Chain A
Amino acid sequence: MSDKILYGYTGIFDTPDEIILAANKVAEDGYKKFDVNTPYPVHGMDNAMKLPVSKLGYAALIFGLTGTISAVTLMYFLSVFDYPIVIGGKPFFAFPAFVPIIFEVTVLAASIATVVTMIALFFKFPNISHPLHDTEYMKKVSSDKYGILLQADDLKFTEESAKELLAKLGAKDITAIYYDQAEISTEHKIFEPKFISLLIIIAVVVSGSTYFALNKLMFMVPFNWMMEQSKIIPQDNNSFFSDGKAMRTPIEGTVARGNMPYQFKGDPESAGKYLKNTLLPTEKNLDLGKKKYDIYCSPCHGYYGEGDSRLRGQFPNPPSLHSEKVRTWTDGRLYHVITEGQNIMPSYASQMTRKERWATILYLRVLQRSLNAKESDLE
Chain B
Amino acid sequence: MSSNQTNIDYSKKDLPGILTKLGFALFGVGLVIVISAFFIDHTRAAFNNLILLLFLTSIGLGSLFFVALEYLAGAVWSTPFRRVLEFFAATLVILPIVALPLLFNMHDLFHWTHNEVVQSDTLLKSKSGYLNVSFFIIRMIAFFVIWLTFYFVITRNSKKQDISGDQSLTSKNIKISAVFMPFFALTVTFSAIDWIMSLEPHWFSTILGVYYFSGTVLAALAAATLAIVLLVEKGYFVKGMVRDHYYSLGALLFAFVNFWAYIAFSQYLLIWYANLPEETFWFLHRWEGNWMFVSIGLIIVHFIVPYFGLLSQPSKMDPKRLKFMSVWILFAHFYDLYWLVMPTYGKGYAVFGWIELGFPILAVGLLILIFTFKSKNQNLIPIGDPKLKRGLNFRL
* Closest partner residue, chain A, to B272 (CB atom): A96
> Residues of B contacting A99 with CB < 8 Å?
265, 269
Asked if B107 CB lies within 8 Å of chain A CBs, one says: no
Asked if B275 CB lies within 8 Å of chain A CBs, one says: yes
> Residues of A contacting B204 with CB < 8 Å?
none
Interface string of B260-281 (1 = CB under 8 A from A): 0000010011001101000000
Contact of A57 among B265, B272, B313, B395 (CB under 8 A): B313
> Residues of A contacting B311 with CB < 8 Å?
61
CB of A7 to closest CB in B, whole Å: 34
Q: Considering the chains assembled together, what is the distance between the CA atoms of A57 and B268 in angstroms?
A: 31
Which A93-137 residues sit within 8 Å CB-CB of chain B?
Answer: 96-97, 99
Assess the B269–A97 pair: CB atoms within 8 A.
yes
Asked if B119 CB lies within 8 Å of chain A CBs, one says: no
> Residues of B contacting A61 with CB < 8 Å?
311
Assess the A96–B312 pair: CB atoms within 8 A.
no
Asked if A250 CB lies within 8 Å of chain B CBs, one says: no
Asked if A193 CB lies within 8 Å of chain B CBs, one says: no
Q: A43-B395, A96-B268, A99-B265 are in contact. Are A57 and B312 (CB under 8 A)?
A: yes
> Residues of A contacting B272 with CB < 8 Å?
96
Interface string of B234-272 (1 = CB under 8 A from A): 000000000000000000000000000000010011001
CB of A40 to closest CB in B, whole Å: 16
CB of A51 to closest CB in B, whole Å: 15
Q: Considering the chains assembled together, what is the distance between the CA atoms of A88 and B268 in angstroms?
A: 16
> Residues of A contacting B395 with CB < 8 Å?
43
Asked if A234 CB lies within 8 Å of chain B CBs, one says: no
Assess the B275–A89 pair: CB atoms within 8 A.
yes
Interface string of A38-62 (1 = CB under 8 A from B): 0000010000000000000100010
How many chain B residues touch the partner (CB < 8 A)?
10
Interface string of A83-94 (1 = CB under 8 A from B): 000001110000
Assess the B273–A97 pair: CB atoms within 8 A.
yes
Size bracket of the A interface: under 10
> Residues of B contacting A97 with CB < 8 Å?
269, 273
Q: Considering the chains assembled together, what is the distance between the CA atoms of A61 and B315 in angstroms?
A: 15
Interface string of B299-324 (1 = CB under 8 A from A): 00000000000011100000000000
- For the residues of B in contact with A, the DSSP-based class is helix
Contact of B273 among A43, A57, A96 (CB under 8 A): A96
Q: Considering the chains assembled together, what is the distance between the CA atoms of A97 and B311 in angstroms?
A: 25
CB of A281 to closest CB in B, whole Å: 42
> Residues of A contacting B312 with CB < 8 Å?
57
Assess the B269–A88 pair: CB atoms within 8 A.
no
Which A179-212 residues sit within 8 Å CB-CB of chain B?
Answer: none
* Closest partner residue, chain B, to A97 (CB atom): B273
Which A270-316 residues sit within 8 Å CB-CB of chain B?
Answer: none
Which A11-45 residues sit within 8 Å CB-CB of chain B?
Answer: 43
Which B352-396 residues sit within 8 Å CB-CB of chain A?
Answer: 395
CB of A47 to closest CB in B, whole Å: 12
Assess the A88–B275 pair: CB atoms within 8 A.
yes
Q: Considering the chains assembled together, what is the distance between the CA atoms of A61 and B313 in angstroms?
A: 12
CB of A75 to closest CB in B, whole Å: 15
CB of A43 to closest CB in B, whole Å: 7
Q: Considering the chains assembled together, what is the distance between the CA atoms of A376 and B312 in angstroms?
A: 82
Q: Considering the chains assembled together, what is the distance between the CA atoms of A89 and B275 in angstroms?
A: 9
Q: Considering the chains assembled together, what is the distance between the CA atoms of A374 and B199 in angstroms?
A: 70
CB of B14 to closest CB in A, whole Å: 38
> Residues of B contacting A89 with CB < 8 Å?
275
Q: Considering the chains assembled together, what is the distance between the CA atoms of A75 and B268 in angstroms?
A: 21
> Residues of A contacting B269 with CB < 8 Å?
96-97, 99
> Residues of A contacting B265 with CB < 8 Å?
96, 99
Q: Considering the chains assembled together, what is the distance between the CA atoms of A61 and B312 in angstroms?
A: 10
Q: Considering the chains assembled together, what is the distance between the CA atoms of A90 and B275 in angstroms?
A: 9
Interface string of A229-254 (1 = CB under 8 A from B): 00000000000000000000000000
CB of A284 to closest CB in B, whole Å: 37
* Closest partner residue, chain B, to A100 (CB atom): B269
* Closest partner residue, chain A, to B262 (CB atom): A103
* Closest partner residue, chain A, to B265 (CB atom): A99
* Closest partner residue, chain B, to A58 (CB atom): B312
CB of B287 to closest CB in A, whole Å: 13
CB of B124 to closest CB in A, whole Å: 29
> Residues of B contacting A88 with CB < 8 Å?
273, 275
> Residues of A contacting B313 with CB < 8 Å?
57
> Residues of B contacting A90 with CB < 8 Å?
273
Q: Considering the chains assembled together, what is the distance between the CA atoms of A43 and B393 in angstroms?
A: 14
> Residues of B contacting A96 with CB < 8 Å?
265, 268-269, 272-273
Q: Considering the chains assembled together, what is the distance between the CA atoms of A269 and B132 in angstroms?
A: 73
CB of B251 to closest CB in A, whole Å: 14
CB of B205 to closest CB in A, whole Å: 16
Q: Considering the chains assembled together, what is the distance between the CA atoms of A88 and B269 in angstroms?
A: 14
CB of A55 to closest CB in B, whole Å: 12
CB of A128 to closest CB in B, whole Å: 33
Q: Considering the chains assembled together, what is the distance between the CA atoms of A88 and B274 in angstroms?
A: 9
Interface string of B178-209 (1 = CB under 8 A from A): 00000000000000000000000000000000
Q: Considering the chains assembled together, what is the distance between the CA atoms of A96 and B265 in angstroms?
A: 8
Q: Considering the chains assembled together, what is the distance between the CA atoms of A96 and B272 in angstroms?
A: 8
CB of A77 to closest CB in B, whole Å: 22
* Closest partner residue, chain A, to B271 (CB atom): A96
Q: Considering the chains assembled together, what is the distance between the CA atoms of A43 and B395 in angstroms?
A: 10
* Closest partner residue, chain A, to B273 (CB atom): A97
> Residues of A contacting B275 with CB < 8 Å?
88-89
> Residues of B contacting A43 with CB < 8 Å?
395
Q: Considering the chains assembled together, what is the distance between the CA atoms of A99 and B312 in angstroms?
A: 23
> Residues of B contacting A57 with CB < 8 Å?
312-313
Q: Considering the chains assembled together, what is the distance between the CA atoms of A57 and B272 in angstroms?
A: 35
Interface string of A328-344 (1 = CB under 8 A from B): 00000000000000000
* Closest partner residue, chain A, to B270 (CB atom): A96
CB of A103 to closest CB in B, whole Å: 10
CB of A17 to closest CB in B, whole Å: 15
CB of A96 to closest CB in B, whole Å: 5
Q: Considering the chains assembled together, what is the distance between the CA atoms of A134 and B113 in angstroms?
A: 82
* Closest partner residue, chain A, to B314 (CB atom): A53
Known contacts A57-B312, A61-B311, A99-B269; can you find 9 more A-B pairs with CB under 8 A?
A: A43-B395, A88-B275, A89-B275, A90-B273, A96-B265, A96-B268, A96-B272, A97-B269, A97-B273
17 residue pairs A–B, Cβ–Cβ below 8 Å: A43-B395, A57-B312, A57-B313, A61-B311, A88-B273, A88-B275, A89-B275, A90-B273, A96-B265, A96-B268, A96-B269, A96-B272, A96-B273, A97-B269, A97-B273, A99-B265, A99-B269
Closest 7 CB pairs of A and B: A96-B269, A96-B272, A96-B268, A57-B312, A97-B273, A89-B275, A99-B265
- B residues adjacent to A (C-beta < 8 A): 265, 268-269, 272-273, 275, 311-313, 395
